[in-house]
Amino acid sequence: MLQFDRFTLDNGLRVLVHHDPGTPMVAMNIIYEVGSRDEEADKTGFAHLFEHLMFGGSVNIPKYDEPLQKAGGENNAFTNNDFTNYYITLPKNNLETAFWLESDRMLSLAFNKKSLEVQRQVVVEEFKQNYLNQPYGDVYLLLKPLAYKKHPYRWNTIGKEISHIEKATMDDVKAFYKKYYHPSNAILCVAGDVDTASVKALSEKWFGGIPKGQRPPKEYPQESKQTKERSKTVERAVPQDAFYMAWPMPKRLDPDYYTCDLVSDLLSNGNSSRLFQSLVKEQELLSEVNAYITGDLDGGLFMVSGKLYPQSDFEMVEKAVMIELEKLAKEAIEEEELQKVINKAEANLVFSEISVLGKAMNLCYYEMLGDAAWFQQEIVKYRAVTTQKIQQLATSLFNTQKRNILYYKATSRS
Amino acid sequence: MTSYNHPDRKQIPSLGRPISLKLPQIESIRLDNGLQVFLIPDPTQEVTRMDFVFEAGSARQDKKLLAAAVNQILIEGTPRHSSLEIAGLLDFHGAYLGQFVDKDLAGLRLYSLTKYYDRLLPLMVEILTEAIFPEEELRIFDDRRKQEYQVNIQKVRYQASLEFNKLLFGTHSPYGQVLELEDFGKLKREQLLGFYNKNYSAEGFYGILSGKIDESLLDKLNATLGSAWKGQNQTVKAHKVMIESHPQQQKLIHKTDALQSALRLGCLSINKQDADYPKFSLLNTVLGGYFGSRLMSSLREDKGYTYGIHSVIQHFRDASYFAIATEVNARHTSAALKEISKQIDIIRSEKISAKELDTVKNYVYGSVLRDFDGPFAQADRFMKSRQLNIPFEAYKQNLDEMMQCTSEDLLMTAVKYLNPNQMKTLVVGNTTELIE
């Protein structure tokens, strides 16, 4: 059981505490409810660039990393479509250093010019390293604008193009900070050998004096129902042809989310999964195959992708994949197969809360969804999925009219 | 008077006294057949892990890809369970089966919810003792690996790691062998069976059981693994890996359209048993071993040449090496190399300040606590200590010695072990401004 205590400061900061006496380390995790979906269409990549700037010094602390290292701490952060997550782990006797650092950068940044210049370059290198200088690295840059036409999910967290990052100005940085980086848009969790009373005292001491901000509205342009298949073909200097199919899937809080997740597991989680057995092992059409969900809050994508052997072609592969997907719609799966994917989901939930950091991240994430206690309920929601629900979902989801498909062709080299 | 909500934000809050590193006394049991299993129990977990460790790393193979093929295809069938049945059983119980091969060791690592663990043990033992290596599975393995290789070799980072390995150890050393396209399609089933019978055996085997362990699980382990490989010799025969010092100091591989260049600089270095090792390890941290390191501060945070740069000391049983690794903006390839040399020069000629030394020591302290936090992290470290023939307690001694290091010690260590004339340099990417 993932037990926790919860309180809210007067300025709106939500704080969660998990007590785990078994470790000398303590984890502090903070979610700011801002992601790339909050960006403007001509300033994409900004939430992520901003994450880098959060390490460029705050109003009273010129360097973030140096004192943290002095306290034996380590930190990192990530940004996705929906939120930005920062975390620290450090020996428990230095917990106050984490409060000091995180509260100061929530109070105000230093807005240092040089830091903006350098981090722009670092992010441009990250863009190149992971998205351009990498075989298949640009798949999502191509696929997302195909699958989304209106919603800000149509661009990637790294940004639509490098030029947006290069153009970011200090005024943009300040405005973004003011709008999203304040106590009422944040969730803090401390997990480790700590007690709630002292976490509360530390929270009030360090975060209590930060002015309350205004919670930004969370409204985004919604997609119209897709009625026609969309496809795109590109050629790249890669060794293998690859395909990426994407269907729009329900929002994170829709009960069908759990059915979708289990369907993706039926298809490709583990060596006994359907697509792996059929396409990789039996028919030997693909060297790898994947089915997964992106799980975004406002409605993610159900993805099926694979890499083709030289003797396979797109047409036969597509047919073979669709046969497997349609099978789920036509025939109810056996109870035992359903049990298998539910067991896998249960194990994954348990594996995700082994470390104090895993626990702190989970608690913040579920609090953002609505209630940290929902983490405990996850397994119940997976267990509520039935073979009928799977069949219904497969019928409505895998509709070729709602399909988006990227054909990623290997340039023939002579 | 300090006001409640106006704490002193200019100063770091006073730091607590270092928490001492507590290493568990690792006990071991002998199964009925004499096999040794080490125990790292933690009753608060709901998860159990077991590492089945063999002397079956790539240094033992006489054909490239053999050790990896055996490790992978191990789980693809026994006389009683097909590949699909094995996968089905593991998946049904939500288990995660890790397959690992490095230069010295190979094996399997099973994570599962404790409540299902006893059901999976018999299957694990069956896999380890009765694998049949179907012809068909070998072909699929080979095809898939070949495709994967062709994708990876396009990445400057991957190509650099292979080439650097050759440059360090020499291609004739078992440690220096790297995959090439023509290595695919050559393995025979008989070779797999030969390697399996010889190396997945009682000789050198041990297990590490960590997480939640109860009595009944130990009984089950004895009832299954306790009767495996009966009568086999369990002592490891000496096996020393030859290292051939490669005369070439620099290698440049030009990639026409690369947006980034992968850089590797390094040399063979002292091992963990060496009396200078704690100092060298601390020195490595200063130079490139953490986010605030000299290299990271200069090449990433100051100049923005790269998304990241690191230095490491890597250990195998019969060799250790030091290396700096990064991918940089192709335009700044030669500037980045110059900056790296400059940082090496500085660390070899100037004593580090008391402040920096203090920061690094504290950082190292925290990261060692983190590295030993929980039974699974401890199992990882314990396995490494066995691979390198060092006592598990040596980690603590090492840490204590690092904490005693002075700026003078580090300067001497830098002069002794970071000699630019002995460093090998590899560039994969934009080499136009560089001279061979």
Side chain identity, residue B271: N
Residue range B199-216: mean pLDDT, rounded? 95
Q: Is the pLDDT of residue A132 over 90?
A: no
Q: For chain A, first and last CA: distance in Å?
A: 60
Look-up: residue for tokens 């190149």? A128
pLDDT, position B17: 83
Q: Is the pLDDT of residue B133 over 50?
A: yes
Look-up: residue for tokens 């690092």? B402
Where does a domain end: B227, B242, B270?
Answer: B227
Q: A128-137, A343-352, B188-197, B257-266: which has the minimum mean pLDDT?
A: A128-137
Of residues A377 and B1, the one with the higher pLDDT is A377
Look-up: residue for tokens 């080979």? B142
Model pLDDT for residues A188-201, shown as the tens digit of each residue: 999 999 999 999 99
Residue B1: band (very low, low, confident or very high) from pLDDT cuts 50, 70, 90: very low
Residues B111 and B75 in one domain: yes
Left, alpha or beta for B149 (phi > 0: left; psi -120 to 50: alpha)? alpha
Interior/surface letters A251-282, b for 16+ CB within 10 angstroms, e for the rest: ebeeebbbbbbbbbbbbbbbbbbbbbbbbbbe
For residue A192, which of A74, A381, A18, A313 has the smallest C-alpha distance?
Answer: A18
pLDDT, position A87: 98
Mean pLDDT for all residues in chain B: 94
Where does a domain end: B227, B260, B278?
Answer: B227
Identify whether B304 is part of a domain.
yes
Of residues A402 and B3, the one with the higher pLDDT is A402
pLDDT, position A413: 52
pLDDT, position B333: 96
pLDDT, position B436: 65
Model pLDDT for residues B328-368, shown as the tens digit of each residue: 999 999 999 999 999 999 999 999 999 999 999 999 999 99
Model pLDDT for residues B404-432, shown as the tens digit of each residue: 999 999 999 999 999 999 999 999 999 98
Mutate to test the interface with B, among A264, A354, A355, A376 (most CBs of B within 10 A): A354
Residues B193 and B259 in one domain: no
Model pLDDT for residues B34-63, shown as the tens digit of each residue: 999 999 999 998 999 999 999 999 999 999
Tokens encoding B203: 């000789």
Residues B35 and B148 in one domain: yes
Q: Is the pLDDT of residue B248 over 90?
A: no
Contacts of A72 in chain B (CB under 8 A): 18, 362-363, 365-367, 369
Mean pLDDT for all residues in chain A: 95
Residue B2: band (very low, low, confident or very high) from pLDDT cuts 50, 70, 90: very low
C-alpha A278/C-alpha A269 separation (Å) is 13
Tell me, what CATH number does B57's domain have?
3.30.830.10
**Which DSSP letter does residue B298 get?**
I
Residues B337 and B400 in one domain: yes
Side by side, the strands of the sheet bearing B320-329 are: B250-254, B424-429, B260-269, B320-329, B306-315
HEC per residue, A213-242: CCCCCCCCCCCCCCCCCEEEEEEECCCCCE
For residue B300, which of A66, A102, A164, A115 has the smallest C-alpha distance?
Answer: A115
Helix (H) or strand (E) holding A387: helix A387-397
Structural contact between residues B270 and B320, judged by C-beta atoms closer than 8 angstroms: yes
How near does any CA of chain B get to the CA of A315, in Å? 20
Domain that holds residue B223: 27-227
Q: A354 and B374 in contact by Cβ < 8 A?
A: yes
Where does a domain end: B196, B227, B258?
Answer: B227
Residues B221 and B286 in one domain: no
How near does any CA of chain B get to the CA of A150, in Å? 32
How near does any CA of chain B get to the CA of A203, in Å? 10
Residue range B215-240: mean pLDDT, rounded? 88
Model pLDDT for residues A274-288, shown as the tens digit of each residue: 999 999 999 999 999
For residue A15, which of A184, A187, A164 has the smallest C-alpha distance?
Answer: A187
Model pLDDT for residues A41-58, shown as the tens digit of each residue: 999 999 999 999 999 899
Q: B367 and A72 in contact by Cβ < 8 A?
A: yes
Look-up: residue for tokens 């199964």? B31
Q: Is the pLDDT of residue A96 over 50?
A: yes
Residue range B102-126: mean pLDDT, rounded? 96
Residues B186 and B287 in one domain: no
Structural contact between residues A188 and A28, judged by C-beta atoms closer than 8 angstroms: yes
Of A96, A118, A344, the CB nearest to B302: A118
Residues B205 and B265 in one domain: no
Distances (CA, A) of A204 to A5, A6, A17: 15, 14, 14
Residue range B243-252: mean pLDDT, rounded? 84
Q: Is the ipTM of this complex over 0.85?
A: yes
Fold of A5-207: Cytochrome Bc1 Complex; Chain A, domain 1 (3.30.830)
Three-state secondary structure call for residue A15: strand
For residue A262, which of A166, A388, A169, A375 has the smallest C-alpha distance?
Answer: A388
Q: Is the pLDDT of residue B4 over 70?
A: no
C-alpha A249/C-alpha A404 separation (Å) is 12
A10 and chain B in contact, CB less than 8 A? no
Identify whether B435 is part of a domain.
no
Q: How many CB pairs under 8 A join A and B?
A: 214
Identify whether B67 is part of a domain.
yes
Residues B180 and B215 in one domain: yes
C-alpha B390/C-alpha B382 separation (Å) is 10
- Report the share of chain B in percent with pLDDT over 90: 88
Residues B340 and B194 in one domain: no
pLDDT, position B5: 61
- Report the share of chain A in percent with pLDDT over 90: 94
Residues B190 and B52 in one domain: yes
Residues B288 and B208 in one domain: no
Residues B124 and B187 in one domain: yes
**Which DSSP letter does residue A184 get?**
G
The CATH number assigned to the domain with range A230-410 reads 3.30.830.10
Name the segment(s) of chain A with CATH classification 3.30.830.10.
5-207, 230-410
Q: What is the pTM of this model?
A: 0.93
Residue B3: band (very low, low, confident or very high) from pLDDT cuts 50, 70, 90: very low
Number of Cβ atoms within 10 Å of the Cβ of B406:
13
Helix ranges, B153-269 (H): 156-169, 189-199, 215-224
What is the number of domains present in chain B? 2
Of A61, A74, A348, the CB nearest to B366: A74
Model pLDDT for residues A294-319, shown as the tens digit of each residue: 999 999 999 999 999 999 999 999 99
Tokens encoding B141: 């393995």
